Amino acid sequence: MESQGTQGTQGGITVQRALELPGLRGGLPEVVAGAERLQRTVRWVHAGEVPNIASLLKGGELLLTTGLGLGARPAEQRVFVRKLAERGIAALVVELGPRFTRLPAAIVETARSAGLPLVQLHREVPFVTVTEEVHTEIVNGHYALLQRADEVHRRCTEALLGGGGIPQVLGVLADFSGNPVFLETADGQLLYAAGAGTECADPLQVWEGLRGHHKDGPPAGALLVDVPGGGPGSGSVRARLVLLAVESALLPVHRIAAERAAGSLAVVLMQARQEEELAARGRGDFLTDLAEGRIKPDDAPAQARVLGFKPGESPLLPVVMRLADGLPPGGGWAVLARAVAEELAAVGVPVLLGVRPVEGRVPLLLGLRSESERTAVADRVATALRAGVERAGMQRAGALPPVVVVGVAGGWAAASAGLRHAAETATAAQGLSDRPWYDARRLDIDLLLWRLHNYDDSALAAFVDRAIGPLRAHDQRSKPPLLPTLQTYLAHAGRKAETARELHLNRQTLYNRLARISELLGTDLDDPQTVLALSLALRARRHVA
C-alpha cells in the first residue's frame, strides 16, 4: 500500500495509515476536511480537552479529543482550530458524543481553509488503545528506517574494505537516495561528486546549477551533513555531504544514511591526511638528514628517486620556508604540504617537498635546467609557497609572515650545505622586513648575530645598548625619532642626498638630525668602524628585548 511505503521512508506513519488501524477504524472515522492532506506524517499521538492545548504541542501530533475544550461559540472554535493549524499538528480527531453530535460548521470551515485534516468519529473508542497502536506503528517505522540506514552503512563499509574510496561511498548514497551526492570542503569547494545513475542528470552540471550558486545557504530540499574533522567533542568540520533533491524528494531515512556514511568518510579522510602527512614528514626527514650530513651526497640520488624526485644531472636549488612560531606541530601540515605541492606544480621543475612541523619548516629541493634560471624559479617558488600557506590556513592573524630563503644552486654536496645554511638563515631572518624571498648569501651577518644571540644574549644586548642605547632612549621620549634616520643613512652608505630624498627631508634638516645623532652617540658617522658597529647594532636590536 502507498501508506506502507510512506511509513517505510519517513520513519513514522501517515494520517491515512493511522485511520486504517483497528483502534480508529472501529470508531467509524469520517474525514470532513483536509482529505487531500492525509499523507502527512504523524510524529506522536496526544489526547486532551483543554482550550489552550495548542501551546502544549510541538507539531506533527495526531490530536484526539471529545471537543470539551473547543469552546461553545463559533469565534472560540475558529481560534482553537486555527492555533492547532499554526502549530503544525498532523490532524485533529474529534469523537462525537455528549459534546457534539456533529461537528459545527465553524470548526469544519476553519479546518478546511487552514488545510488541517479534520476527522470525526461516530463511535466511542478508547483513546489509550489508539495511542498504543499508533505509537507502536511509529516505533516500528523508525526501526525500519534504522534497518534501511544500516544496510546502506554496511554497503559503504564493504565498498571501503574492498579497496574503494570516497567516490564509491558517494555512489552508494546516490543510488539509495536516487539523487546526486557531493562532498565539499567546509568552505564550500567541491571535492567529489556522484550521480544516481546513467539516466540521471550529470552531477557536475547539477552542482553548477544548484549548489554552486547557493553559497549563502542550501537550495530548497537539500540535505547537508557535516563530516567531523577532529576528535570526539572537538566540533570541527572537515568536509560536508550534500544531497540535492533533483530526481525525488529527500526523506528522513536519507539523512540517517548520510549521517552514518559521514562517520566512515571522516575515518577515510583522517587516514588519507595521516598518510599524506607521514609521507611529507618522511621527505622532510630525508632533506634534514641530507642537510645535517647523515646522508652522504653520493647516496642521496638513489634515496631521492625512491621518494619520486628525479632531477637527473640538473643543478639543485635548496629552498627553506620557515613559518611563524606558535603553530601546532600537527593538524594542518598535511593540508599545507598538499596545497604547496599543488601550487608548485605550475613552476614546471622537479620538486622534492617535505615538512618539519617541530621546527616549523618546509624544506625543498628543485631541479633547475641551468643555474641562470635561479632567480626566476625562486620568484615562482616563493609565490607558490606563500599561496600554499594561505590556502592551508597556516597564516595566523597578526603573526609574522613566512620567511623563504633560497640557497646556492649546485650538486648534491652543495645541496646538503645549502639546505643546512638556508634552514638556519630562515630562522635568523624572522622579523626582518618582509620580502618574497631572501638570498641566503646576503643574510650571513644576520645569521652570525642570531647565533650570538643564542650563545650569549646578554652580550648581544649589551653591545646594542652601547652602540645605539642613547638613540633608543631619545626616541622613547622625544620627537622626531632619530633611529629611522640613522638606519636610512647607513642603508644608503652615507649618501646624504639619497637619504634626504627617501626621508622626504631637506638637506639642512637631515644635517641637523645627523649632527644630533653624532652628539648623542659621541661618535663620528664618517668613521668606518663606527659605521660598522652601528649597522650591526641596528640589525641585532630585533633579537634583544
CATH number of the domain at 512, please. Answer: 1.10.10.2840
Distance CA 381, CA 304 (A): 20
- Residues ≥6 apart with Cβ < 8 Å to 234: 228
> Within this chain, do residues 365 and 330 fall inside the same structural domain, yes or no?
yes
pLDDT on residue 232 = 44
- Which range is least confidently modeled, 43-52, 100-109, 231-240? 231-240
With respect to residue 261, please indicate whether it lies within any of the assigned structural domains: no
> Within this chain, do residues 354 and 428 fall inside the same structural domain, yes or no?
yes
pLDDT on residue 281 = 84
- Its pTM stands at 0.51
Query: Mean of the per-residue pLDDT values for the chain?
Result: 85
With respect to residue 523, please indicate whether it lies within any of the assigned structural domains: yes
pLDDT tens per residue across span 369-396: 998 999 999 999 999 888 888 887 777 6
pLDDT on residue 233 = 44
In the predicted model, is pLDDT for residue 20 greater than 80?
yes
Name the amino acid, one letter, at 33: A
> Within this chain, do residues 182 and 88 fall inside the same structural domain, yes or no?
no
Report whether 29 contacts 93 (CB < 8 A).
yes
- Residues ≥6 apart with Cβ < 8 Å to 277: 330, 333, 334, 337, 355
Confidence of residue 327 (pLDDT cuts 50, 70, 90): low
Burial status of residue 105 (CB atoms within 10 A of its CB: 0-12, 13-18, 19 or more): exposed
With respect to residue 527, please indicate whether it lies within any of the assigned structural domains: yes
> Within this chain, do residues 7 and 117 fall inside the same structural domain, yes or no?
yes
> Within this chain, do residues 110 and 78 fall inside the same structural domain, yes or no?
yes
Q: What is the CATH number of the domain that holds 71?
A: 3.40.1390.20
In the predicted model, is pLDDT for residue 41 greater than 90?
no
> Within this chain, do residues 200 and 329 fall inside the same structural domain, yes or no?
no
**Grid coordinates of 379:** 620568484
Burial status of residue 232 (CB atoms within 10 A of its CB: 0-12, 13-18, 19 or more): exposed
> Within this chain, do residues 281 and 327 fall inside the same structural domain, yes or no?
yes
pLDDT on residue 326 = 61
Looking at 250, 266, 301, the residue that finishes a domain is 250
Looking at 102, 120, 138, the residue that finishes a domain is 138
Mean pLDDT within 299-306? 89
With respect to residue 268, please indicate whether it lies within any of the assigned structural domains: no
In the predicted model, is pLDDT for residue 339 greater than 50?
yes
With respect to residue 337, please indicate whether it lies within any of the assigned structural domains: yes
> Within this chain, do residues 186 and 111 fall inside the same structural domain, yes or no?
no
Report whether 502 contacts 488 (CB < 8 A).
yes
pLDDT tens per residue across span 428-446: 888 787 789 999 998 888 8
> Within this chain, do residues 461 and 539 fall inside the same structural domain, yes or no?
yes
pLDDT on residue 488 = 92
Distance CA 453, CA 458 (A): 8
Q: What is the CATH number of the domain that holds 423?
A: 3.30.70
pLDDT on residue 481 = 92
Report whether 250 contacts 287 (CB < 8 A).
no
> Within this chain, do residues 379 and 477 fall inside the same structural domain, yes or no?
no
Q: Measure Cα distances from 415 to 5, 213, 351, 420, 456 in Å.
A: 69, 48, 13, 9, 30
In the predicted model, is pLDDT for residue 211 greater than 70?
no
Q: Which domain holds residue 39?
A: 2-138
